[in-house]
A and B are shown apart, each in its own frame.
Chain A
Amino acid sequence: MTVVRLPARPRPRYGGAVVGGTAVLEEAPEDSVEALAVRFRAGHEEALGEVYDRWSALVHTYALRALADTHDAEDVTQQVFVAAWRSRETMTPSPSTFPAWLLGIARHKIADARAARARDVRRIEAVVAATPSDEGVGAEDVMEPDRIVVRQAVDEMAEPRRTIMLLAFWQDLTHADIAASTGLPLGTVKSHLRRGLTQLHRTLEEVRHGSR
Chain B
Amino acid sequence: MAHADIDDLAALVLEPGDVPADVQQHVHACPTCAQTLEALAATRRAAGADALVAPPSGLRTRVMAEALGRPAGVVADTPAAIAPDAPAGTGEPVPLAGRRRSGVPLWLASVAAVTALVAGLGFGRMSVGTPEATPVEPEPTGSVLASTALTALDSDAPRGNAEAVRHDDIVTVSVEASSLGDEQGFHEVWLINVDGKRMVALGILARGDDGTFDVPRGLIDEGYRIVDISVEPDDGDPTHSGVSLARGQLA
Contacts and interface: CB of A to CB of B under 8 A. Distances in A.
Interface of A: 1, 3-6, 8, 14-15, 45, 48-49, 52-53, 56-58, 60-61, 64, 73-74, 77-79, 81-82, 85-86, 108, 111-112, 115-116, 119, 123, 139, 146-152, 154-155, 165, 168-170, 175, 190-191, 193-195, 197-198, 200-201, 204-205
B196 interface: yes
A179 B73 CA distance: 55
B59 A1 contact: no
B60 interface: yes
B11 A194 contact: yes
Given A112-B140, A146-B46, A152-B52, A78 B14 contact: no
B56 interface: yes
Given A190-B15, A194-B7, A1 B196 contact: yes
17 contacts: A3-B105, A8-B101, A14-B69, A52-B63, A56-B59, A60-B54, A78-B63, A112-B138, A139-B140, A146-B46, A155-B51, A194-B10, A194-B11, A197-B14, A197-B44, A204-B46, A205-B39
Chain A CB within 10 Å, residue with most, of B15, B43, B54, B134: B43
B140 A56 contact: no
Interface in B35-58: 39-40, 42-44, 46-56
Interface string B155-178: 000000000000000000000000
Interface in B96-144: 100-106, 109-110, 113, 131, 134, 137-141
Nearest to A87: B170
Q: Can you list the 5 inter-chain pairs with the closest CB atoms, starting with the nearest?
A: A169-B47, A147-B49, A57-B52, A85-B67, A194-B10
Interface residues of B, number: 55
A6 B240 CA distance: 14
B109 A197 contact: no
Contacts of A168: 14
Contacts of A49: 60, 64
Chain B CB within 10 Å, residue with most, of A49, A169, A194: A194
A193 B14 contact: yes
Contacts of A4: 103, 197-198
A5 B67 CA distance: 30
Chain B CB within 10 Å, residue with most, of A149, A151, A152, A154: A151
B68 interface: yes
Interface string B188-224: 0000000011100000000000000010000000000
A150 to B, nearest CB: 5
Given A61-B52, A194-B7, A14 B59 contact: no
A79 B137 contact: yes
Chain A CB within 10 Å, residue with most, of B42, B106, B137: B137
B47 A48 contact: no
A190 B7 CA distance: 10
B102 A197 contact: no
B134 A151 contact: no
Contacts of A148: 49, 52
A8 B100 contact: yes
Contact of A197 (B40, B63, B64, B214): B40
A48 B49 contact: no
Contacts of B60: 49, 52-53, 56
